[in-house]
Structure 1
Amino acid sequence: MTRPVALELAVQDPTGVRIAGAVGAARVELAQALALGGLTPSPATLDLSIDAARAVGVEVHVLVRPRPGGFVYSADEIAISESDVRRAIEAGADGVVIGALGADGMLDIPAMRRLRDAAGGASVTLHRAIDVTVDPLATLATARSLGLRRVLTSGGASAAIDGVDTLRALVAEAAGGIEVMAGSGVDADSAPALAETGIDALHFSAKRRVREPEGQARDDVRMGSAADGAGGYEVTDLEIAQSVVDALLR
């Protein structure tokens, strides 16, 4: 049996929250637009997901990310994020997931302090911005010095299974002073090997693409960008989520 780790499911709605409860996850990361890497969820999504989480006994940690793309933010974007952090905690979220970088490729310390303080003592996770910093080990140390609860990381790789050596180094650097949670491309095949690196938690999305039935809508009209959702949308899948859990129990 693989070393037990806490499970966090990345979800986009109350249905995903209920699936997290059904498979025994400790918490969810609540976002919208996971296909874009995740963005701050709407107020209604936040409220209804927190209600669902209370019913099934999982924590809600809210991703606060004002736009797709990189993590170097303008003053307006930081102000928006600060307000979103406060709104999430006031709504009853157990924590927030944040990240902001400076032009030097390291954490934007003033912005991180501002967002941390807006959480008012609630749990704060540094998201995968750590994976695009110039020195993930130094970034982990900075996150710890800021009093953050955990970091979400793929070990600097596109998929966490390809970053296992860095994940082990991050676990050693953390030395129990901050949690290391592995995520990105996690599935039933990779979950046991990731758990064996010594991480504290495993983050996965268990997404399944739903395609629109043929003839339901025209597909020759674009509503915006090339990523406007044509061809379907993603949902949390119970069977996929359960397969990850089962793999860890073998």
Structure 2
Amino acid sequence: MQDDIQIEICAGSITSALAAQQGGAVRIEYCDNLLEGGTTPSHGAIAAARDQLWITFNVIIRPRGGDFLYSELEFDVMRRDVLACKKLGVDGVVIGLLTADGEIDVARTRELVELAAPMQVTFHRAFDVARDPRSALEDVIASGCNRLLSSGQAPSALEGALLLAELNQLAAGRLAVMPGAGVRASNIGELVKVTGCREFHTSARAPRPSGMVWRNERVKMGAPGQDEYEILDTAAPLVAEILANARAALHP
């Protein structure tokens, strides 16, 4: 087991990725469309981030929002994106595929893992809507994934902490169990103590104002209630605070 804490940041922009790096994160999960749970960024965005980052750089492979049951056309897109990430020098990919019955799609997951090699592979929170978490864990391990991102099949990692602790014990070092969803500076200490995990996933975002001087408040481009003149990005001080609180809990 690791004797230190690793913080992975879910970054929705190159600005967030650089802030994560500055704040002490060891790994990025690079995503587009965070409001949909994250989809694959453009190749240009991936290449630009790769040029700027020295920490581990992973990219989500998800062709759309919604469920995790993919058509053959969508799966072909996923294959191509895995190969593109490899060509761009990405360190790892993040995937999640289910069958219609809520099981891990082992065959397709294994195919993407083999295609991704030697990149590492994380299985994302598709796990949290799988039918049975214990059998799903074994399927993720059998598929060859290196890491599992999970909230413990709960709305937040804190609410799912007991299942995360059990999954971490059942994994027994065969892969890393990484709690994510609602991980904050205020609760990461408890998560460290309850789950026994050493890797944690968060976005550590804070609002920053738009630089626009002229603003047409009558026209909205995004979702209802969304403030388009307030941008949410990862904040380096928040990353540092989360890491410090986690380490304090691990080494009181």
Same fold (TM over 0.5): yes
Query: What CA deviation, in whole Å up to 9, does each residue of 1:211-241 have, x standing for no partner?
Result: 5478733233344765887453321112221
Partner of 1:46: 46
Find 2:83's aligned residue among 83, 86, 96. Answer: 86
Counterpart in the other structure of 2:19? 19
Q: What's the counterpart of residue 107 of structure 1? A: 104
Change (3 A) 1:74 1:229: farther
SS of corresponding position for 2:45: helix
Provide the secondary structure at the position in 2 that maps to 1:160: coil
Matched, 1:179 2:147: no
Q: Deviations over 1:33-56 (max 9, x none)?
A: 2222111011121011111113xx
Indicate if the aligned counterparts of 1:10 and 1:29 stay in contact, CA closer than 8 A: yes
Work out whether 1:249 is the aligned partner of 2:247: yes
Assess if the C-alpha contact under 8 Å between 1:219 and 1:230 holds in 2: no
Give me the whole-angstrom Cα distance separating, in 1, the residues matched to 2:228 and 2:18: 27
Partner of 1:117: 114
Corresponding residue number in structure 2 for 1:137: 134
Cα distance, 1:210 vs structure 2 = 3.5
Q: Cα RMSD (Å) of the superposition?
A: 2.0
Task: Show CA shifts across 1:56-81 (max 9, x none).
Answer: xx100111111111111111111111
Number of equivalences: 245
1:200 is aligned to 198
For 2:242 and 2:117, locate their aligned partners in 1 and report how far apart those are by CA, in whole Å: 34
Whether the aligned pair in 1 keeps the contact of 2:5 and 2:243 (CA below 8 Å) is no
Look up the SS of the partner of 1:147 in the other structure. Answer: coil
**In the aligned structure 1, how far is the partner of 2:68 from the partner of 2:170?**
24
C-alpha separation between the residues in 2 aligned to 1:209 and 1:179? 31
Q: Deviations over 1:134-191 (max 9, x none)?
A: 1111111111111110100011111101111100110111011111001011111111
Per mean C-alpha deviation after superposition, the further-off stretch among 5-14 and 153-162 is 5-14
TM score, norm. by length of structure 1: 0.90
* Distance of 2:209 and 2:33 partners within structure 1: 16
Q: Is the partner of 1:101 in helix, strand or coil?
A: coil
Q: Which one of 123, 127, 137 corresponds to residue 124 of structure 2?
A: 127
Mapped partners of 2:222, 2:200: distance in 1? 35
Any conservation in 1 of the 2:5–2:247 contact (CA below 8 Å)?
no
Give the drift of 1:247: 1.1
Q: Which of 214, 217, 237 is the aligned partner of 2:235?
A: 237
Unaligned runs of 5+ in 1: none
Please give the alpha-carbon distance, in whole angstroms, between the structure 2 residues aligned to 1:169 and 1:62: 27
For 2:161, the equivalent position in structure 1 comes to 164
Describe the SS at the equivalent of 1:130: helix
Whole-angstrom distance in 2 between the partners of 1:45 and 1:214: 23
- Assess if the C-alpha contact under 8 Å between 2:39 and 2:65 holds in 1: yes
Pairwise CA distance, 1:209: 2.8
The separation in 1 between residues aligned to 2:102 and 2:179, in whole angstroms, is 21
Residue segments in structure 2 that go unaligned for 5+ positions in a row: none
